[in-house]
């Protein structure tokens, strides 16, 4: 047994192709060892050591259907990343392949949602989402952007896959063309529709946000119903807030200056009154002195 294992290790060292910086699904499949054969010679730990690095597996998704779909996808990504800019425990996939089995690689049956969110993971760039390289994690939330070529699959095949295989808690779809919008929450292995509120918004427990169609686009709203801004909108709001603060500061400064002017005027009036009183006192004293010079006592009581 030891001799066979040593022979196999020598063969592996001779024939293994070093994993490239970028791998296509076909290249990864070619490098995957045959587990049935290897288990006759290797322990599970040794087999794991022989497995190629799938973290560099490239996404294999087609282009988005239209500029509307690109814009909507960018909107969903940018708004959530702005809202969660201080968090480091999530990953957002945008038109990125999710690899979840070797059979999938063999069949070249790629299943990449338009938008997916995975929580409780490291926030860093990835070329694709490889489930077995990510501690078996599947998306917490998926959003598909419907188009004439994908709508039927998104409503049936993908919906079933996300429920039964991915066990993704929440699934939404939206059409940038027709504004069709629906949301589902997992119950067992099946999705149940999420009831809309009176405004037509759908609450996402995974996001702790509402999803709603606003002016033709799918947007997030916070629990208070306020729109989650894009980075550009947030910058504009910050600029407007800064301008408003500057205006308030100028108004306050003007008010202070006005109070100072009034105080200065009051002080001047007091000084003027004091001067006039002093002058009146001086005139009274001068008159009293003249009266005394004439032998009249100005202080004597009058009869």
Whole-number average pLDDT of the chain: 82
Lowest-confidence range among 143-147, 218-222, 276-280? 276-280
Lowest mean pLDDT among 47-56, 108-117, 207-216: 47-56
> Which burial class, exposed, middle or buried, applies to 238 when counting CB atoms under 10 A from its CB (0-12, 13-18, 19+)?
exposed
Judged against a pLDDT cut of 80, whether residue 265 lies above it is answered with yes
Angstrom distances, CA of residue 197 to CA of 51, 67, 123: 49, 30, 32
Buried b (16+ CB within 10 A) or exposed e, 141-158: bbbbbbbeebbeebeeeb
**38 or 216, which is more confident:** 216
State the average pLDDT over residues 114-128.
95
Count CB-CB contacts under 10 A for residue 62: 10
Question: What are 301's two structure tokens?
Answer: 């009581």
d(CA 251, CA 174): 47
Cα–Cα dist 250/248, whole Å: 5
**Any idea which of 4-13, 23-32, 83-92, 210-219 has the lowest mean pLDDT?**
4-13
The answer on pLDDT for 48 being more than 60 is no
How confident is the model over 39-45, as a mean pLDDT? 54
Q: Is residue 263 over pLDDT 90?
A: no
> What percent of the chain has pLDDT above 90?
49
59-228 falls under which CATH superfamily?
tt1808, chain A (3.90.1570.10)
Q: Residue 45 has what pLDDT?
A: 53
CB 116 within 8 A of CB 134: no
Name which of 15-19, 204-208, 277-281 the model is least confident about: 15-19
Give mean pLDDT, residues 140-166.
Answer: 95
Q: State mean pLDDT over 98-114.
A: 74
Q: Which of 22-26, 124-128, 223-227 has the highest mean pLDDT?
A: 223-227
- Averaged pLDDT for residues 47-67: 62
The rounded distance, in Å, linking the Cα atoms of 230 and 240 is: 15
Q: pLDDT at position 78, please?
A: 97
Q: Which of 4-8, 113-117, 230-234 has the lowest mean pLDDT?
A: 4-8
pLDDT band at 69 (very low <50, low <70, confident <90, very high): very high
Q: How far apart are CA 174 and CA 145, in angstroms?
A: 5
Let me know: does 240 contact 227? Beta carbons within 8 Å. no
Q: Which of 3-17, 42-56, 130-144 has the lowest mean pLDDT?
A: 3-17
Q: How high is the pLDDT of residue 38?
A: 47
Choose between 1 and 156: higher pLDDT: 156
pLDDT tens digits along 27-39 = 555 555 555 554 4
Encode pLDDT of 267-303 as tens digits.
888 888 888 888 888 888 888 888 788 877 777 776 6
Q: Which of 4-13, 189-198, 209-218, 240-249 has the lowest mean pLDDT?
A: 4-13
Q: Answer yes or no: is pLDDT of 258 > 90.
A: no
pTM of the model: 0.68
């Amino acid at each position: 047994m030891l001799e066979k294992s040593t022979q196999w290790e020598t063969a592996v060292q001779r024939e293994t192709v070093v994993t490239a910086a970028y791998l296509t699904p076909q290249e990864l499949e070619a490098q995957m060892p045959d587990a049935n054969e290897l288990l006759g010679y290797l322990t599970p730990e040794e087999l794991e050591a022989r497995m190629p690095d799938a973290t560099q597996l490239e996404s294999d998704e087609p282009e988005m259907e239209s500029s509307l779909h690109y814009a909507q996808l960018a909107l969903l990504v940018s708004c959530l990343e702005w809202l969660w800019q201080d968090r480091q425990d999530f990953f957002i996939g945008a038109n990125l392949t999710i690899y979840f089995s070797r059979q999938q690689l063999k069949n070249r049956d790629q299943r990449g949602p338009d938008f997916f969110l995975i929580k409780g993971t490291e926030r860093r760039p990835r070329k694709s989402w490889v489930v077995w390289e990510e501690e078996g994690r599947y998306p917490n939330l998926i959003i598909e952007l419907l188009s004439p070529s994908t709508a039927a699959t998104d409503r049936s095949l993908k919906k079933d896959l996300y429920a039964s295989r991915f066990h993704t808690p929440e699934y939404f779809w939206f059409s940038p063309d027709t504004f069709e919008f629906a949301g589902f929450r997992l119950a067992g292995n099946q999705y149940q529709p999420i009831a809309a509120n009176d405004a037509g918004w759908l609450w996402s427990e995974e996001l702790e946000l509402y999803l709603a169609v606003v002016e033709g686009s799918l947007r997030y709203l916070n629990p208070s119903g306020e729109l989650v801004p894009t980075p550009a909108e947030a910058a504009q709001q910050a600029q407007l807030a800064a301008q408003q603060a500057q205006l308030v500061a100028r108004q306050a400064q003007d008010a202070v200056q006005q109070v100072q002017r009034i105080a200065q005027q009051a002080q001047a009036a007091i000084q003027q009154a004091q001067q006039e009183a002093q002058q009146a006192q001086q005139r009274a004293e001068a008159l009293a002195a003249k009266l005394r010079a004439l032998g009249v006592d100005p202080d004597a009581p009058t009869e």
